[in-house]
Structure 1
Amino acid sequence: MSYWMKSLLLLPFVFVACVQAEPLQKSFSDWQLTCNNAAFCVARSFPGDNGLVMTLSRGAGVNDRPLLRIDYGSAYSGELPGGPLKENLLLDQRRLTPDLKHWSVEPHHLATSNAIAIDEFLAQTLDAHTMQLTYQAKATIPLSGMKAALLLMDDVQGRVNGASAWVKRGDRAPSDVPPVPQVPQLPARLPQPAPLTQEETSGLIDYGTWRVNTDNCSLDPLRREVSVAPLTDTKALLLISCEAGAYNVIDLAFEVTRSQPYVARGLTLTLPFTPPGRSDNQMELVNAEFDASSGLLYTFSKGRGLGDCGVATRWQYNGNDFVLAEYAEEKTCDAWHSSDKWPTLWVSQPPS
């Protein structure tokens, strides 16, 4: 039974449009599939540090905006030497010559959003084993996990046994697919608070350094960094570094009154879903940064120092707590893309 059907059975048919997709990130051999709460899915081959990667993405519903890309070289590697992809791809050791009439063609980048062109390309490659470059044997795209990843993508989006499926195609009309799940709307942005005065800043930093309850912090008070920013005209945000590693710093967050006597309340980040591989939905504030002008809090947990894998989140302050706006995660550490390109597991609508 498909992911969307499992959710659908719990609700009357009239409420189909309100069904939310379940975020997921899963690996199949050398392919990774990520789907967010809007049932937008991205599948890509790995490892990317061999230089050559294929990516397929698709939205839910009828207007699915499909995209297939083959790229040689990344933001980390820069441009790589060698001839153009269109003349130098092998499929199971035989020359691959796709019809590129509806493709965007650059020397080391091929892309198409044409549904027929994607179907034709998948017909050639779904049951193959390897795609590689003629002049660089290590630059390969393993294909063994692609079919399973795309089958799960079809399942998540309710396409299995339909004409729009990429793998298990059937007789259902292309329009016979579930609608795009609704995503939550962020709270309205609060009025921009008055900047902290020098006196407020000094008092709050002193309070955060010596008097707020940080008993569970491993860092010595003399090594802790304290930052302060206005949340509202009467409340401020204190971020206090609590633990430090090679490339990640974990902070504690407090909502504090801007005037004495200071009253502090600990803030926590609670996800509206449980990420794959996790048993809880509580998030630590890792490498946190707060933008007082927008009320947005950012976290960036690096899987390694290069910053090519990990978790990046964005939160909106609603006057009392922080609400998740976006959650992106890249489990595969393969020097392929930086955090601004990581696949999302949670997205939201901007405030109305």
Structure 2
Amino acid sequence: MHYWIKLPLALLFFAAGLHAEPLQKTFSDWQITCNNQNYCVARSVPGVNGLVMTISRHAGVNDRPFLRIDYGSRYTGKLSGAPLQDNLLLDGQRLKPDLKHWEVQPHHLSTGHAISINEFLSLVMDADNLQLLYRPRATISLHGLKAALLLMDDIQGRVNGMSAWIKKGERPAMDVPPPPDFPEAPRLQPVPPALTREETTGLLDYGTWRVNTDRCSLDPQRRQVSVAPLNDKKALLLVSCEMGAYNVIDLAFEVTRSQPYMARGLTLTLPFTPPRHGEKKLELINADYDASRGELLTFGKGRGLGDCGTATRWQYDGREFVLTEYAEEGTCDAWHGSDDWPTLWTSKRDMPPAPEQASTE
């Protein structure tokens, strides 16, 4: 484990602004994810029993900590029972936290108040579990929480400082490295002209029978081929090559819009090595392309329920697709869908121009 305070302060601040390697790890019953901005989120696992605690924090001085306890998810639906605030047990004893600065709902407790978070962590840090009084199976194991938060402190350069959650010290709370620089996404390309009927027919025939798909295991008659414009001269050709119960893997080609067709294979290369994968090349799984924004999405399900897997967003820069967002949920525990998976990579993206207002005159 590295401790940034052992290096010269200016050198570390400089290094922190250049690069942060995303990670996702599990410590006993807690999973932590930190993205390329050193924003970290840790949650208790598994969530199948309906009760989960989540704690997150941004890097730098403006850390915006947030802690929440939830009973019920999008997969469990609304669960019945008395309010959480009166029915939580800590190691079998009724827990009565000070909720003055908390948002209190029947089955959801949350706070972004730093002192309240510190007070709550001091109550639970060395305990075994949180439990719901009227549903004993709804339990949050606290084993691994301390290790996850220590890693969070370390990643954000808080260890041995007053802002640390675990290994506090005398270093001032303001004495922490800033978040790394945001990577810039490619600028949005002009919206390409739509493919004509003749262009579409010719490209679909080319993609079905003539493009080099030696790596495809699917019979040509079972392959799905789709085409979309990249610009006024080139098109994106997607050819399904492997098919499972809930995932389809495509090959992607940049193809000239007119004959004689010239195709160039496109690959998705991540700017980091993701956890559990070991390489930077990413397969196009359940790919979806938005030609109006030059945006390619992938969505690899870990299982049919869609509660775990990998979701990515890529921007076309005129030649290649560049990663703008990467989210991954490595724990398949029926807790949340892809919209809420923790992010490992994020970037500054262009917003589409605002629509013109209709004249009222």
TM-score greater than 0.5 by the shorter chain: yes
2:344 paired with 1:345: yes
SS of 1:319 mapped into structure 2: coil
Distance 1:142 1:335 in 2: 17
Tell me what 1:188 maps to: 187
Distance 1:303 1:93 in 2: 35
SS of 1:123 mapped into structure 2: helix
Distance 1:307 1:257 in 2: 36
Q: Which moved more, 1:329-338 or 1:273-282?
A: 273-282
Q: Deviations over 1:92-112 (max 9, x none)?
A: 000000000000000000000
Q: Deviations over 1:229-264 (max 9, x none)?
A: 000011100000000001000000000000111100
Tell me what 2:132 maps to: 133
Contact 2:70 2:107 in 1 (8 A): yes
Distance 2:341 2:4 in 1: 24
Tell me what 2:354 maps to: none
2:37 paired with 1:38: yes
Which runs of structure 2 are paired with 1:255-270 in the superposition (5 Å)? 255-270=254-269
Q: Deviations over 1:83-139 (max 9, x none)?
A: 000000000000000000000000000000000000000000000001000000100
Tell me by how many angstroms 1:197 deviates: 0.8
TM-score, L = length of structure 1: 0.97
Which runs of structure 2 are paired with 1:96-135 in the superposition (5 Å)? 96-135=95-134
TM-score, L = length of structure 2: 0.94
Tell me by how many angstroms 1:4 deviates: 5.5
Distance 1:12 1:34 in 2: 25
Contact 1:31 1:145 in 2 (8 A): yes
Contact 2:4 2:12 in 1 (8 A): no
Residue identity matched to 1:330:
E
Tell me what 2:2 maps to: 2
Q: Alpha carbons of 1:252 and 1:77: their partners in 2 closer, same or farther (altered >3 Å)?
A: same
Tell me what 2:228 maps to: 229
SS of 1:50 mapped into structure 2: coil
Residue identity matched to 1:127:
D
Q: Alpha carbons of 1:14 and 1:327: their partners in 2 closer, same or farther (altered >3 Å)?
A: closer
Tell me by how many angstroms 1:17 deviates: 5.4
Tell me what 2:328 maps to: 329
2:89 paired with 1:90: yes
Q: Alpha carbons of 1:220 and 1:4: their partners in 2 closer, same or farther (altered >3 Å)?
A: farther
Mind listing any 5+ residue stretches in structure 2 that lack a counterpart? Answer: 352-361
2:178 paired with 1:173: no
SS of 2:296 mapped into structure 1: strand
SS of 1:238 mapped into structure 2: strand
Contact 1:43 1:57 in 2 (8 A): yes
Distance 2:5 2:189 in 1: 38
Q: Deviations over 1:264-301 (max 9, x none)?
A: 00000000000112221100000000000111100000
Q: Alpha carbons of 1:196 and 1:111: their partners in 2 closer, same or farther (altered >3 Å)?
A: same
Tell me by how many angstroms 1:195 deviates: 0.6
Tell me what 1:220 maps to: 219
2:240 paired with 1:241: yes
Tell me what 2:295 maps to: 296
Contact 1:90 1:134 in 2 (8 A): yes
SS of 2:173 mapped into structure 1: coil
SS of 1:312 mapped into structure 2: strand
Contact 1:205 1:228 in 2 (8 A): yes
Distance 2:101 2:162 in 1: 21
Tell me by how many angstroms 1:225 deviates: 0.2
Considering only aligned residues, what root-mean-square deviation do their CA atoms show, in Å? 1.6
Residue identity matched to 2:330:
K
SS of 1:165 mapped into structure 2: coil
Residue identity matched to 2:277:
R
Which runs of structure 2 are paired with 1:5-24 in the superposition (5 Å)? 12=11, 15-16=14-15, 18-24=17-23
Once the two structures are aligned, what percentage of the paired residues are identical?
A: 69
Q: Which moved more, 1:15-24 or 1:239-248?
A: 15-24
Tell me by how many angstroms 1:37 deviates: 0.5
SS of 2:254 mapped into structure 1: strand
Contact 1:310 1:329 in 2 (8 A): yes
Distance 1:162 1:78 in 2: 41
Residue identity matched to 1:78:
G
Report how many residues are paired.
351
Distance 1:293 1:233 in 2: 13
Tell me by how many angstroms 1:205 deviates: 0.5
Tell me by how many angstroms 1:15 deviates: 3.0
Distance 1:204 1:25 in 2: 41
Distance 1:333 1:14 in 2: 37
Residue identity matched to 1:323:
V
Contact 1:4 1:157 in 2 (8 A): no
Q: Deviations over 1:30-62 (max 9, x none)?
A: 100000010000000011110000000000000
Tell me by how many angstroms 1:2 deviates: 3.0
Q: Alpha carbons of 1:146 and 1:4: their partners in 2 closer, same or farther (altered >3 Å)?
A: same
SS of 1:138 mapped into structure 2: strand
Mind listing any 5+ residue stretches in structure 1 that lack a counterpart? Answer: none
Tell me what 1:79 maps to: 78
Tell me what 1:147 maps to: 146
Tell me what 1:277 maps to: 276
Tell me by how many angstroms 1:16 deviates: 4.1
Tell me what 2:57 maps to: 58
Distance 1:257 1:84 in 2: 61
